[in-house]
């Protein structure tokens, strides 16, 4: 929506030069592409790398799932996704065999070109989303199969980025954040990753679908260590705004908190609440160590059907991160507190246009 303020648009208020490199997936028509939403440069596949499968192949194999579940179908011709530079298609199908490497190289070029002014880069790798591809340098090199090869290639790319920042003398004045958008796609077994002790995965509001690792790198500003407090990707908006000296917009309520006191001074984080949505429905709420599930629903044939829970399921994530032991009967007062949090949250929410609903009528 044009009414939303992207992080790139926010940082333009402090004269940042901005780039989006990689997956976008917020609309592939020109009006929705990164250059129309605060980015000065874009290079990437504008949506998921498993799309644009030729109809003949879908018919031959019996559908999408039959194509993507078989690694033998992992060739670039089977996924006719475009590669864009700014608003222009420069390659189709995108050569996914080396796409991770090319995203890294584009990032390095942007850093070197803009080394003398503030810059913001949103680097969003398409992989390890299926179908999996790795370049010659890493293909077959890891001990974890093709998935491990992809992760290793991303890791090598991050190392090259950090090394370039050091070589350009920017390492002590640049914050690097490494994180993920969701948990593993368990339906793809060894091609989909693992959530470890966390329950479930991508597409679900159990911790395995929503909780992801995050690394902050800012030499001499962030003291190396481990933090186990609550944070959200949405907190990057407030955090980056503060670091850039840009005031937050006053015409809206933002679910975003400044993480710098936690990162720089190891103070207690201020976020106490997290809201777990599936589409436009609120499924679960975290308050401190406690998490209440008002609705649960599996995905991809796993973890059961949609169930509405009244009273909600309740877990203590500090003691039970795997969400195995429902303690709702033991802590009715916690459920009441969480219900009040939900009331306040929903009173503050302004419903936006559901663009997915209107998409089918276009």
- 329 contacts: CB under 8 Å, gap ≥ 6: none
Helix axes 145-167, 99-113, angle to 10 degrees: 10
- Three-state DSSP class for residue 324: coil
Which helix (H) or strand (E) covers residue 158, if one does? helix 145-167
Rounded to an integer, the average pLDDT of 180-195 is: 94
Q: Average pLDDT for residues 250-278, to the nearest whole number?
A: 94
pLDDT tens digits along 277-327: 998 899 999 999 999 999 999 998 899 999 999 999 999 999 999 999 999
**CB atoms closer than 10 angstroms to residue 279:** 9
Q: Is the pLDDT of residue 11 over 70?
A: yes
Give dist(CA 256, CA 241) in Å, integer: 11
- Asked if 82 and 46 touch (Cβ cutoff 8 Å), the reply is yes
Residue 70 CB burial class (10 angstroms; 0-12, 13-18, ≥19): exposed
> Residue 220: pLDDT band by 50, 70, 90 thresholds?
confident
93, 84 contact by CB (below 8 A): no
| Mean pLDDT for all residues in the chain | 95
For the record, the structure tokens of 72 come out as: 């033998």
Band of pLDDT at residue 352, cut at 50, 70 and 90 = confident
Backbone angles phi, psi at 276, to 5 degrees: -105, 110
Quote the pLDDT of residue 301.
85
| Percentage of residues of the chain with pLDDT beyond 90 | 90
The mean pLDDT value for 62-69 works out to 96
Q: For the sheet with 307-316, list strands across it.
A: 273-278, 281-287, 290-296, 307-316
pLDDT exceeds 60 at position 361 = no
- Which carries the bigger pLDDT value, residue 293 or residue 2? 293
Strands 41-44 and 119-124, bridge-based pairing: unpaired
What per-residue confidence (pLDDT) applies to 358?
A: 67
162 SS3 class: helix
SS (H, E, C) 205-271: CCHHHHCCCCEEECCCCCCCCCCCCCCCCCHHHHHHHHHHCCCCCCCCCCCCCCCHHHHHHCCCCCC
CATH architecture group of domain 7-272: 3-Layer(aba) Sandwich (3.40)
pLDDT score of 359: 67
User: In the prediction, which pLDDT does 225 show?
Assistant: 92
pLDDT the model gives residue 354: 74
Angstrom CA distances, 354 to 53, 201, 202, 233, stand at 26, 25, 22, 22
What number of CA atoms fall less than 13 Å from residue 27's CA on the CB side?
14
The whole-number average pLDDT for the span 152-173 is 98
Our measurement of the distance from residue 102's CA atom to the centroid of its chain's CA atoms, rounded to an integer in Å, reads 20
Q: Do 190 and 143 touch, CB atoms closer than 8 A?
A: no
Q: Distance between CA 33 and CA 30 in Å, rounded?
A: 5
Confidence class of residue 355 from pLDDT cuts 50, 70 and 90?
confident
pLDDT of residue 31: 94
Structure tokens belonging to residue 252: 């809206």
Q: Compute the average pLDDT of residues 341-349.
A: 93
Phi, psi angles (nearest 5°) of residue 186: -65, -20
With residue 156 as reference, give the H or E element that holds it. helix 145-167
Alpha carbon distance 96, 234 (integer Å): 29
What is the CA 81 to chain-centroid distance, rounded?
Answer: 20
Instruction: Output the pLDDT for position 360.
Output: 58
b/e map 304-315, b = 16+ CB within 10 Å:
eeeeebeebbbb
Q: What is the CA radius of gyration of the chain?
A: 21
List C-alpha distances in Å: 3 to 95, 115, 235, 281.
34, 31, 19, 21
**Residue 2 pLDDT:** 79
Q: How many residues does the chain have?
A: 362
Separation between Cα atoms, residue 174 and residue 171, nearest integer Å: 5
């Amino acid at each position: 929506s044009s009414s939303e303020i992207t992080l790139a648009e926010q940082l333009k208020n402090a004269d940042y030069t901005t780039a989006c490199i990689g997956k976008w997936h917020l609309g592939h028509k020109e009006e929705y592409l990164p250059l129309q939403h605060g980015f000065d440069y874009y290079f990437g596949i504008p949506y998921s790398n498993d799309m644009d499968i030729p109809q003949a192949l879908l018919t031959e194999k019996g559908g999408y799932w039959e194509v993507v579940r078989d690694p033998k179908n992992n060739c670039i011709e089977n996924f006719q996704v475009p590669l864009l530079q700014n608003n222009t298609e420069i390659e189709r199908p995108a050569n996914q065999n080396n796409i991770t490497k090319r995203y890294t190289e584009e990032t390095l070029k942007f850093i070197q070109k803009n080394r003398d002014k503030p810059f913001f880069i949103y680097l969003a790798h398409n992989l390890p989303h299926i179908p999996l591809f790795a370049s010659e340098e890493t293909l077959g090199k890891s001990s974890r199969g093709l998935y491990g090869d992809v992760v290793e290639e991303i890791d090598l790319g991050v190392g090259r980025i950090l090394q370039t920042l050091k070589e350009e003398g920017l390492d002590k004045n640049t914050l690097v954040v490494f994180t993920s958008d969701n948990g593993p796609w368990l339906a793809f077994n060894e091609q989909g990753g693992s959530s470890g002790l966390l329950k479930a995965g991508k597409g679900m509001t159990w911790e395995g679908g929503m909780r992801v690792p995050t690394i902050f790198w800012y030499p001499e500003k962030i003291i190396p260590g481990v933090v186990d407090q609550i944070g959200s990707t949405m907190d990057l908006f407030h955090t980056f705004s503060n670091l850039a000296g840009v005031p937050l917009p006053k015409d809206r309520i933002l679910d975003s908190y400044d993480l710098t006191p936690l990162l720089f001074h190891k103070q207690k984080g201020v976020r106490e609440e997290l809201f777990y949505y599936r589409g436009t429905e609120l499924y679960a709420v975290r308050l401190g160590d406690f998490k209440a599930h008002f609705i649960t629903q599996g995905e991809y044939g796993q973890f059961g059907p949609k169930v509405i829970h009244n009273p909600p399921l309740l877990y203590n994530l500090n003691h039970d991160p795997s969400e195995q032991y429902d303690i709702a009967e033991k802590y009715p007062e916690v459920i009441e507190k969480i219900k009040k949090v939900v009331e306040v949250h929903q009173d503050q929410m302004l419903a936006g246009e559901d663009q997915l609903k209107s998409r089918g009528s276009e």
